[in-house]
Amino acid sequence: MNNIFNYTREKLVKYFDSIGEKKYKAVQVLEYLYQKKNFNIDNISNIKKDTVEKINKDFTFDMIQISDIKHGEDVVKYLFKLLDGDYIEAVLMKHNYGNSLCISTQVGCNMGCKFCESGRLKKVRNLDTYEMVEQILLVEKNDNIRISHVVLMGIGEPFDNYDNVINFIKIINDDKALAIGSRHITVSTCGIVPKILEFAKLGIQVNLAISLHAPTDELRNKLMPINKVYNLELLIDTLKKYIKLTNRRVTFEYILLNNINDTEECAYNLCKLISGMNAYVNLIPYNETQNFNFKRSSTSNITAFYDILKKNGINVTIRREFGGLIDAACGQLRANKGGNNS
């Protein structure tokens, strides 16, 4: 039986057409579920009872559950228990421009980035669309807030769960569902080249972020195994094609690791690598975790790195730090809880 939160408006329209109902019923159901936040279809008033009974037979309305919540300054970490008993996480970050939710796309991750807690928790499975959608719905309902921005940068590699992720984006972007604008949605990838090209051809205005974290193949090979499959030359060439196809700017995420990728040499190499691209760099101070020896770069190293990029004409920001005291690095809370594969 299909979960109702897997269904885009287009799929719901086809469903109602197939049972001889008016297609506009799809919009009524979407508004009821997503805008009124009522997850029991029995109480819907503008659809006749026998149709509601049919919907209940054809769909489930099963929800994941909030298992734990940790609060920090302008940040909230949610641990969700899935129907199969495993756990995922989402992080709410409160900005002056709105509420941003960083969601998970997989249970665990197979990319194996050496500094990442998610990679330590090997992939169990992809999340279904409904399991991604419900992270937003439950946070909005629990906190009585509206999520204005969504980042796919939690546990998992979004492009390793490509079809479900695209389906998810269609649902949350729909103005009859969560109505989150395309330019307020960011998909992060460690660099799965074929999917970047496929994503470019969709023609949607969603932001693309690249987890880069090193400016040379030698260093990136050590930190990120994906680089041995799609090296920097191939990745950068693909991103230039992406920019040409979409006329969209690319974000490079760069976690600063003390005395590893935060040297002046690395900064100059990064300038050479991305010079002339329609891109900007988001420098991220590392959230330390007990399971790795990596340390956060010193403030002086962060500042020096930033200054080199700035002086060489690179658009660069230093990300505001969230959640260091509440295990907000991807996978930390789940690891401490003891997910099925941790």
State the pLDDT at residue 342: 35
b/e 204-217 (16+ beta carbons within 10 angstroms → b):
bebbbbbbbbbbbe
Q: What is the DSSP string of 268-284?
A: HHHHHHHTTSSEEEEEE
The Cα–Cα gap between 266 and 288 comes to 21
Strands annotated E in 111-266? 125-126, 149-152, 185-189, 207-211, 250-256
State the pLDDT at residue 336: 56
In the predicted model, residues of the chain with pLDDT beneath 70 are 119, 291, 321-342
Q: What is the DSSP string of 129-163?
A: HHHHHHHHHHHHHHHT----EEEE-SSS-GGGGHH
Strand-by-strand arrangement of the 75-81 sheet: 65-72, 75-81, 87-95, 98-103, 149-152, 185-189, 207-211, 250-256, 279-285, 315-318
Spatial neighbors of 49 by CB under 8 A, at least 6 apart, are none
Which CATH superfamily includes the segment(s) 65-337? Answer: Aldolase class I (3.20.20.70)
At 59 the three-state DSSP class reads: strand
User: How would you classify residue 247: left for phi > 0, otherwise alpha for psi between -120 and 50, otherwise beta?
Assistant: left
> Catalytic site residue 140?
no
Of the residues 113, 190, 271, 330, which is catalytic? 330
State the pLDDT at residue 326: 47
State the pLDDT at residue 254: 97
Spatial neighbors of 338 by CB under 8 A, at least 6 apart, are none
State the pLDDT at residue 288: 80
Of the residues 10, 31, 89, 102, which is catalytic? 89
Q: How many other C-beta atoms can be found within 10 angstroms of the C-beta atom of residue 42?
A: 11
Q: How many other C-beta atoms can be found within 10 angstroms of the C-beta atom of residue 168?
A: 30
Strands annotated E in 145-227? 149-152, 185-189, 207-211
The pTM (predicted TM-score) of the whole model is 0.93
**How are the residues of the chain apportioned to helix, strand and coil, as percentages rounded to the nearest 5?**
40, 20, 35
Among 212, 326, 195, CA closest to 266: 212
CA 92 to chain centre: 12
CA 190 to chain centre: 12
| CA–CA distances in Å: residue 76 to residues 68, 82, 283, 326 | 10, 19, 22, 8
Contact 65, 80 (CB under 8 A): yes
The Cα–Cα gap between 104 and 88 comes to 6
At 80 the three-state DSSP class reads: strand
The Cα–Cα gap between 99 and 332 comes to 22
Fold classification of 2-60 is DNA polymerase; domain 1 (1.10.150)
> Catalytic site residue 157?
no
CA 326 to chain centre: 19
State the pLDDT at residue 291: 65
**Domain spans of the chain?**
2-60, 65-337
Q: Which two tokens stand for residue 171?
A: 């649902």
Contact 278, 249 (CB under 8 A): yes
At 233 the three-state DSSP class reads: helix
